[in-house]
Structure 1
Amino acid sequence: MELYNLKHPEQKVSFTEAVKLGLGRDRGLFFPTLIPVMDNIDELLNMPFVARSKAILGAWLAQEIGQNSVDRLVENAFNFELPLVSVDEKRACLELFHGPTLAFKDFGARFMAQCLNQLAVQERVTILTATSGDTGAAVADAFFGLDKIKVMVLYPKGKISALQEKMFTTLGDNIHTVAVESDFDACQDLVKAAFEDTEVRDELHLNSANSINISRLLAQICYYFEAVAQFKRSHSDDPVIAVPSGNFGNLTAGLFAKAMGLPIKRFVAATNSNDTVPRYLSDGTWSPKSTVATLSNAMDVAEPSNWPRVEAIVQAMGWSLKDIVGVALSEEETQAALSQLYQSGYLSEPHAAIAAQALTLTLQPGEHGIFLGTAHPAKFKDVVDSTLELDIPLPSELEAVKDKASLSVSLTPDFTVLKQHMLANL
């Protein structure tokens, strides 16, 4: 598999190199020179999830690392269910929160951990990642205890849910966590600055586990195929898929799936008040505003890093950005959407609720759709309980950490301060 740097196309790397590097020169994202197209879609959709995922990822990676290696990576990473649950006659939710940290990020993080562990680790590696919520837990769990790999997670202090925070700040061992006294975009800027600092990058052998790492995106392609496979058991039409969107890695993976031949009618990019992309899709002007804290904090991103990949896919396939519908919901609309789902008999959380309502607002007569359930409702217990006047029980994964002490340190959003902390502790 060959990839090139979107900012410097002359920089070309293999998949293994891209996994190890994370980012290209000048913070450029790696993008495949060729998107494989599957000519046996009907056959694929009739396969079990793991077997199908081996075939899908094999189309990308088998030539470089061998199909047997691909099979091992998939078997070790994808070992939990992902049901498509009917909500009403028009909508179904693909529940992606049945992994070990109760969020969709488990798919990409576990696959990336397996890639690094099996393919790319000859010497010690430091994973540096920023999280707006669920990435931190998924990455920490996926890499916890792995030899030769240390992890540092940056997150915006006071701006993720308490239970999200407990899932990755209580582990210790090779997992280090930093509460940054700012927003997610500042955390992301610190990560990018670290990759540009030669001393930090070389001394610590930096890598990133954000969705900027291509291995995570490839893993996420697989659950779009599973969504359509389950959908086709009861529908003859192609689904509209609404994606709760923050850093836009999730939508990027969906577009890759469609480019491979998966029959998806169109995508809906659903955001909260951090509506850079919906505004851009509407008026063609890219004008990020300051990040706003919302009930759907994992989507509190004003400058999504993966957007250049979205545009690259659209250009490569000869599509139009008009084929992506952007919808942004206010806080009041988010709460109303969460309540509406509950009244329909489906308990959800704010991110999926935004996608569900965005789907409702954009479905045309005769269409059916899927929205992605990206996190277990209990990860946002405070919001869900207060909005729906409930006291939802905690699953065992959250019950186990809720009373543990956080091991995080708090730092200002100053790269010089972070650099000193990293070199001293990693």
Structure 2
Amino acid sequence: MQLYNLSHPEQKVSFSDAVRLGLGQGRGLFFPSNIPKLDNIDAVLALPFVARSQFIIKQFLQGELADEVVDDMVAKAFEFGAPLVQVDAARYCLELFHGPTLAFKDFGARFMAQCIDALGDGQPLTILTATSGDTGAAVAHAFHGLENVKVVVLFPKGKISELQQKLFTTLGGNIHTVAIEGDFDACQDLVKQAFEDQDIRQGLGLNSANSINISRLLAQVCYYFEAVAQFQQRHPDKQAVIAVPSGNFGNLTAGLLAKAMGLTIGRFVAATNANDTVPRYLADGQWLPHKTVATLSNAMDVSEPSNWPRVEACCEVMSWPLSDLIGTSFSDQQAIAELLALHQGGYLSEPHAAIAARALAENLTDNEAGIFLATAHPAKFKDVVDEALSIDVPLPPALRQVANAKCLAQSMPVSFADLKSYLFTTVAAGK
């Protein structure tokens, strides 16, 4: 699989190199030079989830890893399912929160860990990633205890839920966590600065586990096939409209790649909260990020989504006009109203999925049906859900185990100099 740098197209790398590098020159994202096309989609959809996912990923990795190695990687990464649950007559929810950290990021993070393990050369590696909520836990758990791998997670202090935070700030060992005194965009920018610093990249063997890493996106492609496979069992004559709760836009990128491979999807709806850079851009063609604002759907509090160049690249390669994408944004009040409506209809959700559910409802015609993605378990946002619905959401075992554990995160201002010092004096030194 050859990939090229979207910022510097002359830089071309293998999948192995893209996984190791994370980012290309000039902060550029890697994108496939050729998106594999599947001839018999019906036969692919008829396969079980893991077998289908093995087949899909092998289409991308032909010639780089032996088939049996890829099969083993996928089987170890995808040890949980993604059920499609009917919410009402026209809407279905793809539940992506049945992994160990109760979030969709488990698919990508666990597959990336398998890639690093399979492609590693035994040299020490430092995974540096920023999280707006769920990435941190998924990455930390996927790499926790692995030899020669250290993980550093940056997160915006006071801007993610306490239970989200506890899932990754309580592990210790090879997991280092830093509460940055800024928003997610500031955390993300610190990560990008680190990748441009040769001392850090070479001295620490730097890599990233954000959705900028291509391995994570390939894993996410697979659950779109699972969604459509289940949907077509119930609606064989319809193409699903899919609403994606969107922050950094890696999830939508994966969906577009799935469609480019030949998966039958009607259209996509990109659903955001008040951080609405993309919906405004799709409406008027002006890319004008505003200052990030804190919302109840904090994992989507991103004003400068890193994966947007990949969205545009996919549309350009496939000759899809950007106008085919629908962008919507909703306030906290609208998210809570939808959360309440879902609960009254018998479905317990949380603010991110509620935004996608409302976006789907507003963009379905009378004869259509569609899917919205649920990216996290409602208990990860227990305070918000409890208050909105006047209930007491029970904690699943994964959250009960960490609810009272000590937070080990270190606070830090938005300072690259401080981060660089921390990486060398604390992380590299094993303190």
TM, length-normalised to structure 2: 0.98
Offset of 1:66 from its aligned partner? 2.1
1:272 pairs with 2:273 = yes
Q: Superposed, which structure 2 residues align to 1:411-426 within 5 Å?
A: 411-426=412-427
Q: Superposed, which structure 2 residues align to 1:188-337 within 5 Å?
A: 188-235=188-235, 236-337=237-338
How far apart, in 1, do the equivalents of 2:284 and 2:66 lie?
45
| 2:66 equivalent in structure 1 | 66
Q: Superposed, which structure 2 residues align to 1:5-20 within 5 Å?
A: 5-20=5-20
Offset of 1:280 from its aligned partner? 0.5
1:409 pairs with 2:410 = yes
| 2:123 equivalent in structure 1 | 123
| 1:352 equivalent in structure 2 | 353
Offset of 1:64 from its aligned partner? 1.5
| 1:144 equivalent in structure 2 | 144
How far apart, in 1, do the equivalents of 2:113 and 2:398 lie?
20
Offset of 1:121 from its aligned partner? 3.8
Q: Per the alignment, in what secondary structure is the counterpart of residue 340 of structure 1? A: helix
Is the 1:121–1:148 contact (alpha carbons within 8 Å) kept by the matching residues of 2? Answer: no
How far apart, in 1, do the equivalents of 2:66 and 2:2 lie?
15
- Tell me which amino acid in the other structure corresponds to 1:152: V
> What fraction of aligned residue pairs are identical, expressed as a percent?
66
Please list every run of 5 or more consecutive structure 2 residues that lacks an aligned counterpart in the other structure.
none
Q: Superposed, which structure 2 residues align to 1:69-108 within 5 Å?
A: 69-108=69-108
- Tell me which amino acid in the other structure corresponds to 2:334: E
How far apart, in 2, do the equivalents of 1:383 and 1:310 lie?
31
How far apart, in 2, do the equivalents of 1:139 and 1:95 lie?
19
Is the 1:169–1:177 contact (alpha carbons within 8 Å) kept by the matching residues of 2? Answer: yes
How far apart, in 1, do the equivalents of 2:83 and 2:272 lie?
23
Q: Would you say how many aligned residue pairs link Structure 1 and Structure 2? A: 426
Q: Per the alignment, in what secondary structure is the counterpart of residue 113 of structure 1? A: helix
Offset of 1:68 from its aligned partner? 1.3
Q: Per the alignment, in what secondary structure is the counterpart of residue 265 of structure 2? A: coil
How far apart, in 1, do the equivalents of 2:244 and 2:262 lie?
19
1:366 pairs with 2:373 = no
Is the 1:62–1:70 contact (alpha carbons within 8 Å) kept by the matching residues of 2? Answer: no
Is the 1:351–1:374 contact (alpha carbons within 8 Å) kept by the matching residues of 2? Answer: yes
C-alpha RMSD of the superposition: 0.6
Offset of 1:227 from its aligned partner? 0.1
TM, length-normalised to structure 1: 0.99
Residue by residue over 1:324-375, the C-alpha shift from the partner in whole angstroms, topping out at 9 and shown as x without a partner, is 1001001110110101110110000000000000000111120100000100
How far apart, in 1, do the equivalents of 2:59 and 2:97 lie?
26
How far apart, in 2, do the equivalents of 1:365 and 1:309 lie?
32
1:184 pairs with 2:184 = yes
Please list every run of 5 or more consecutive structure 1 residues that lacks an aligned counterpart in the other structure.
none
